[in-house]
Amino acid sequence: METHSSQEPGSALIFACAGGSNVGQMSNEAAIALEKAGVGKLFCLAGVGGHVEGIMEKTRAAACTIAIDGCDIDCARKTLEAAGIAPSVHVVITQLGIEKAKTYEYPEENVCRTVDAVLATVGCCAGSGAAASEAEPCCER
């Protein structure tokens, strides 16, 4: 089992909605894949919603915040914004042409499409690091 690396000050943080649907679970799986690719660190959206001070400090210090939402309800984005943090990058899985369903089953290619959508926009994150710009697209692996 891999252990999470400690967060570097100013690095990219990734927040996934992880909601109760196929696209919510895809958002979490995509966030994990992005962390493994070195794009940023998967971080605790519930901690932001709960205004947990240590989590809030680290989130405010991030050079880049990436929000991945499953659908247009935008829970990840809205949670960050309610805490006064505007996401640097926001990807909504249903806007990629993937339908939301009340199931947890989905093809792996949909996770890859989500990862690739984040990789296509993450370059606009100031200080997101070389890992993001050099990451190989998921669907080409």
pLDDT of residue 103: 85
Which H or E run contains 91? Answer: strand 89-92
Spatial CA neighbour of 141 closest among 115, 117, 106: 115
pLDDT confidence of residue 141? 47
Would you give the DSSP letter of residue 86? Answer: -
**Model pLDDT, residue 105:** 87
- What is the reported pLDDT for 131? 47
Residue 27 in contact with residue 77, Cβ under 8 Å?
no
Q: Is 64 helix (H, G, I), strand (E, B) or coil?
A: strand
pTM: 0.84
Maximal CA-CA distance, the chain: 39
CA end-to-end span of the chain: 22
Report the candidate in 74, 87, 91 with the shortest Cα–Cα distance to residue 138: 91
Q: Per-residue pLDDT for the chain (141 aa), expressed as one digit of tens each?
A: 233 344 454 479 999 999 999 999 999 999 999 999 999 999 999 999 999 999 999 999 999 999 999 999 999 999 999 999 999 999 999 999 999 999 898 989 999 999 999 999 887 564 444 444 455 555 554
Give the residue extent of every domain in the chain.
Answer: 12-99+106-134
Q: What is d(CA 111, CA 30) in angstroms, rounded to the nearest whole number?
A: 6
Nearest Cα residue to 55 out of 16, 33, 83: 83
